Structure 1
Amino acid sequence: MAIRGAIILAILTGGIFLTLKVVSSSDEPRGMGDLSITHLEERLQSIDDELTRLAQYSLRSGIGSIGYRSNPHGQSKSKEWVEIDLGEMGPIDEVVLVPTIWRDTDKGFQADAFPTGFRVLAGGPDDPSGRVIAESQFLGQILPRVAPLRIATPGASGSWIRIEASELSARAFDGEFVLHLAEVLVFRGEENLALSRPLRTSSNINDGAGAWDQRFLVDGFMPYLMDAAVGSKSLAYVSEIGTLPELQVDLGEAFNLSRLHLHTVDQSDTVPQAYAGDLGLPDHLAIEGALQPDFSDAQLLLDYRQERINDTGPIIMRHFPEVRSRYVRFLSKSPSSQISTSRPDLFRIGFAEIEIFSDGQNVALNRRVKSLPETNIDPERSLSALTDGHNLYGKILSTRAWLHELSRRHELETERPQVAGELNRRYARQQAMLHRTTWLAAGLAVSIGFILLLGHILRLRQAAAIRQRFAADLHDELGADLHTIGLLCDLSKDSVDSRDELLELLDRMRVFTERSGTAARYCTNMLEAKGLCEDLVEEMKRSS
């Protein structure tokens, strides 16, 4: 019994060990940074949670500038460069390259002719060669993408930067290798040092529509609409048709102002859109700042002129020399030419948001705005919408934060299918292992059952053999007793005349008769018993 139990225990232990080994092997970390299934599931959930908090890729429609285009080449290993004069020497925290977008009939919107091999150099006035501050080989997978490419440049400084492309991508239109860029931004804190700065290029292709030119690299217009994941919806302010009121913003206190962002009126939420991009935007707009509320000391901050339809976009970004002001006003010098309607009498002024910056901060946020003269305003398009910090899609982010979110979205959306694919592979492998484990467990169960059945059969055979031996021994005893009784009977006949001897023989016959009866009953009971050797010691004594 002890040996049989040990054998069964060994089989069970081995089966359990193999089962655990098989199941645990499906969760062994391999690939994806040696993450386990649990960690991969947590990573996938983390990606999904973060994506809900990031700005969306909402692309512009309508008319506007596209960006910069170099000369075409017949091979990808061709060199083109763009150099931007940043003005004064100073730190460079980050460079952002915004791709031009092509509508691919199979893959949807994709970056077109974005360089796959390049380096970024920076230098000062006395350093025309500069030094490399970033290279594409350290930036991971660049294409495919729609998002801007962020290039961190910690510790870098310079008064100019140069992007040198050494490996070009094929243009979707004709397969020629060219350099396309929609915008280049160079950040120092929240300030885009490249905005409206002078630049040089190795080559430049203009088109008849005026949508391609090197100056569009630094005009502040990008192919995206600011569509933040947070914040409430806000409708843009638009004046009554036929009116051009003067808009005044009270900043609450005096600030050193140096930058302005005008978010244009939402053209339309349809595709195609209803307006060409000029709704509510005068052809000539003067923006003045003053310390006195009557603008008796007004200074011109910005003189904006829209000479072509490509001179506008969703966000008009402009730098100007620093001016200390508390009050800012917007004066329409001429109405919009209304390309969309061809009716100058339908002019009006409006913006989704007015941002006025001092040291990188929007000091106009939630400040009071008034119009002169006051006009009847649609309650859904109130003056407060000009400084509430929201647009049609949600919260208005800083330019750098917005581009960070778009870039981060690209990173996560690139990583997510890899994590999901690895998880699916692990799940499939785990399912296969589970099937194997099930079959192994079934095999173990059958094996154990077979062993138990075999043991039971062997025990029955052993029991039968033992019973037969015991029965044979008892049968021999019974036969001997009967033979003895027979002999005693014969002796009794000879002792008829001797009473004492006869009585002794009869007593002995009585003893052997009782022994024979007992042996017969025990033999019968043992052969019919269900138990195996229930009292083996007694049986052995009896048979001995």
Structure 2
Amino acid sequence: MSACASVVFAGGRSIAELETRKAEIEQELELLSRPSLRGGTGAIGFHSFPYSESENAFWLKVDLKETHRIHEVVLIPVLWRDMEEGFREDALPDELQVYAGTEDDPIGVLVAEYRTPVGRSPGITPIVLPVEETEASWVRIEGPRLSRRLFDNQYVFQMSEIAVFSGGVNVALRKPVTTSLKTARDPSGAWDISFLVDGITPYIMNSARGKQSVGYLGDFGATPELYLDMEEPQTITEIHLHAVEQSNTVPQAFIGDLGIPREFRIEGSETRDFENPVVLLYCHFSGISQMGPIMMWHIPPTQCRYVRIVTLESASSELAHGRETRIGFSEVELIADGVNVAEGKEVWTEPVMRSRRSPGALTDGHNYYGQILPTRAWLQELALRFDLETELAALRQELSRKYSRQEQLLFWMRWGLVVACFAVVFIVFYSRTLRIRHEARVRERIAANLHDELGANLHAIGMWSDIAQESVDAPDSLRESLQRIRGLTERTGASARLCSNMLEAEGVCEDLVDEMKREASRLLADIRYELKFEGEAAINRLSRRQRIDIFLFFKESLTNIIRHGQATGALIVLSVAKRDVTLTIADDGCGLSGGLPNSLQRRAKLMRAKAGVEHPEEGGTLVWLKLKAR
């Protein structure tokens, strides 16, 4: 896990973008190393004396012996097997500062910081802290407080490994380490401050790519010398020995030192017969805690072409239960200028041994899990895998949330579609019903207009015809009657053309007061009448349809008076007050039998008004109409 890495929040991305990023991460993860963990027993790392309180500042200092240009610090946590959650980091400090300096600068400068991400597990992979290129002969790690240990809930500092890289070289490898903390005594031998820089990690190198190689392993009791030919002289600066793969059974067989001599020497020579050998490395393991999956040493730069590994002891291992030891490694790496110059080179044994496994596996560049990577690249891939897996988990969670929301939206869309279809059907049905009702009202209004307009005009024509007959001997009166008949016939013809929609008739009821006055003079020619208007200014502000409807109601009422009432006098009052319109038509005739005539009821219905008829005690008839002004 990189200290500066963070999971990109996915909430603002579309599903397509999230799916694309998810596919990219899954594809990248296929090419990254996997954090396969060691089994068996061995060195764990370093832990301090336990404290009951966390507030104990501390420091650890790695003396690099020489000045190097450092680029990266890698911290590897101690791992704990949780019975419920599986493997997890244990007592990793939640805050650390890394300082670096030279012998002339004992204080140093801050080159990196680490803080446990809020809401995120630190994970079991390495913590990679990039460092801007800095010259340093020492590196100091400081922390303001200790962390709780899972085993007993006490507060300690503990770490599995600290690596400081200059380019691809771990310059902290097997260097002296000092600390301000009190160290704890460990009878098991698995904890020691020197184990912080021994190069042995809790992981097995599993690059997840390349072919599988089972490594070389000799027969029991045979300890031949292993020879390598690099084909040309090389200046060797590092030696890496990869242990033969451990058994995958539970429990493991041959734990700890399988194939690794407890005492051996690695020599180099310019000639194949090793006439003048140079000792590159002498190693004596006092216990299995000094052995691990990958054992690394820095050596003084030495030029040679041939290298051999010579076993110096043949005694039985303390873990072999009396069985004779054997020699074998998964890979032998000889590093010159950061490159394994032994890869692919010739390997043989002396004496020549018959074995099921070929010595060529020692330099094929692969272990049991695939291709062997440079240490720094391998640790970086483990850290990157953790970051990507954390981001992938967040992406999957966000995609799940978005898909759930999408399904919910689809659910509501389906129901919305059902409701919309129902609404469309309802609207069509309702529109059809409204259309039918509207057509019925139109027909009813046309019928009413025909009855009220034409009927009254025809009755008036008949009345004036009678007057004309009576005025045969009075030319002036006859002429007036004939003129009125002529005017009524023209009006009737115009009304017949426009009765379907009187709103289109120009000049009709533009001035309701004048129209009512003229109509009263035509229809009540031989009846004494009085016409009153209250709120006359507001009358002509009524909508044109209301004015026409009021006029037709008024006209039909007058027709009823002259047709059925046998009246000699009439009083007509039209009043507009605030939002109410009232029309009353009173006469002194014989009255109406059976209540308000159907024609007036129909007209009132079209107006959405109230209408009625009353019979005063003094006689006659009173027709009234009330409606809201528009």
Report TM bin, short chain.
Answer: 0.7 to 0.9
Deviations 1:186-242 (A, max 9, x none): 001110000011111112223011111100011111111111110111111111222
Tell me if the contact between 1:276 and 1:339 (Cα under 8 Å) persists in the aligned partners: no
Q: Which residue of 1 aligns with 2:398?
A: 422
1:454 maps to which of 430, 450, 467: 430
Q: Which residue of 1 aligns with 2:343?
A: 365
1:224 equivalent in alignment to 2:200: no
Shift of 1:166: 1.6
Secondary structure of 1:334's partner?
Answer: coil
Q: Which residue of 1 aligns with 2:327?
A: 349
Q: Find the aligned partners of 2:144 and 2:53 in 1 and give their Cα distance.
A: 11
Cα 1:464–1:132, aligned 2, differ >3 Å: closer, same or farther?
same
Shift of 1:269: 1.4
Secondary structure of 1:109's partner?
Answer: strand
1:275 maps to which of 254, 264, 286: 254
Q: Find the aligned partners of 1:201 and 1:470 in 2 and give their Cα distance.
A: 109
Cα 1:80–1:451, aligned 2, differ >3 Å: closer, same or farther?
same
Q: TM-score, normalised by structure 2?
A: 0.68
Structure 1 stretch 388-397 or stretch 410-419: which is displaced more? 410-419
2:94 maps to which of 112, 116, 122: 116
Q: Find the aligned partners of 1:407 and 1:141 in 2 and give their Cα distance.
A: 18
1:391 equivalent in alignment to 2:370: no
Q: Which residue of 1 aligns with 2:410?
A: 434
Q: Find the aligned partners of 1:205 and 1:133 in 2 and give their Cα distance.
A: 29
Deviations 1:330-365 (A, max 9, x none): 111112532232325x22211111110001100000
Tell me if the contact between 2:73 and 2:130 (Cα under 8 Å) persists in the aligned partners: yes
Q: Which residue of 2 aligns with 1:413?
A: 389
User: Which structure 1 residue ranges, 5 or more long, are not aligned?
Assistant: 1-29, 476-544
Shift of 1:438: 2.8
1:211 maps to which of 183, 190, 193: 190
Secondary structure of 1:426's partner?
Answer: helix
Tell me if the contact between 2:94 and 2:116 (Cα under 8 Å) persists in the aligned partners: no
Q: Find the aligned partners of 1:52 and 1:398 in 2 and give their Cα distance.
A: 18
Q: Which residue of 1 aligns with 2:275?
A: 296
Secondary structure of 1:156's partner?
Answer: strand
Q: Find the aligned partners of 1:119 and 1:287 in 2 and give their Cα distance.
A: 39
Q: Letter of the aligned partner of 1:458 in structure 2?
A: L
Cα 1:167–1:411, aligned 2, differ >3 Å: closer, same or farther?
farther
Deviations 1:88-107 (A, max 9, x none): 22211100001111111121
1:317 equivalent in alignment to 2:296: yes
Q: Letter of the aligned partner of 2:213 in structure 1?
A: S
Larger Rg computed on CA atoms:
2
Q: Letter of the aligned partner of 2:197 in structure 1?
A: V
Shift of 1:413: 2.0
Tell me if the contact between 2:331 and 2:363 (Cα under 8 Å) persists in the aligned partners: yes
Q: TM-score, normalised by structure 1?
A: 0.78
Q: Find the aligned partners of 1:167 and 1:431 in 2 and give their Cα distance.
A: 48
Q: Which residue of 2 aligns with 1:199?
A: 177
Shift of 1:141: 6.9
Q: Find the aligned partners of 1:76 and 1:33 in 2 and give their Cα distance.
A: 37
Q: Which residue of 2 aligns with 1:443?
A: 419
Deviations 1:251-306 (A, max 9, x none): 11111101011111122112321112112111211100111111112100000111
Q: Which residue of 1 aligns with 2:62?
A: 84
2:18 maps to which of 4, 27, 40: 40
Cα 1:168–1:35, aligned 2, differ >3 Å: closer, same or farther?
farther
Shift of 1:122: 0.2
Cα 1:163–1:331, aligned 2, differ >3 Å: closer, same or farther?
same
How many residues align? The count is: 454
Cα 1:470–1:142, aligned 2, differ >3 Å: closer, same or farther?
closer
Cα 1:67–1:103, aligned 2, differ >3 Å: closer, same or farther?
same
Deviations 1:81-128 (A, max 9, x none): 110011222211100001111111121111111111110000000111
Q: Which residue of 1 aligns with 2:378?
A: 402
Tell me if the contact between 1:278 and 1:339 (Cα under 8 Å) persists in the aligned partners: no
| Percent identity between the two aligned chains | 42
Q: Find the aligned partners of 2:246 and 2:109 in 1 and give their Cα distance.
A: 44
Q: Letter of the aligned partner of 1:213 in structure 2?
A: D
Structure 1 stretch 407-416 or stretch 168-177: which is displaced more? 407-416
Tell me if the contact between 2:11 and 2:398 (Cα under 8 Å) persists in the aligned partners: no
Tell me if the contact between 1:280 and 1:336 (Cα under 8 Å) persists in the aligned partners: no
Q: Which residue of 2 aligns with 1:170?
A: 148
In the TM superposition, what are the counterparts of 1:119-134 in structure 2 within 5 Å?
119-134=97-112
Q: Find the aligned partners of 1:458 and 1:43 in 2 and give their Cα distance.
A: 56
Q: Which of the two has greater helix per residue?
A: 1
Q: Letter of the aligned partner of 2:325 in structure 1?
A: F
Q: Letter of the aligned partner of 1:375 in structure 2?
A: M
Secondary structure of 2:51's partner?
Answer: coil
Structure 1 stretch 95-104 or stretch 36-45: which is displaced more? 36-45
Cα 1:275–1:317, aligned 2, differ >3 Å: closer, same or farther?
same
Tell me if the contact between 1:70 and 1:205 (Cα under 8 Å) persists in the aligned partners: yes
1:326 maps to which of 298, 305, 327: 305
In the TM superposition, what are the counterparts of 1:464-479 in structure 2 within 5 Å?
464=440
Deviations 1:151-203 (A, max 9, x none): 00022221100111223221011111111111100001110000011111112
Tell me if the contact between 2:116 and 2:122 (Cα under 8 Å) persists in the aligned partners: no
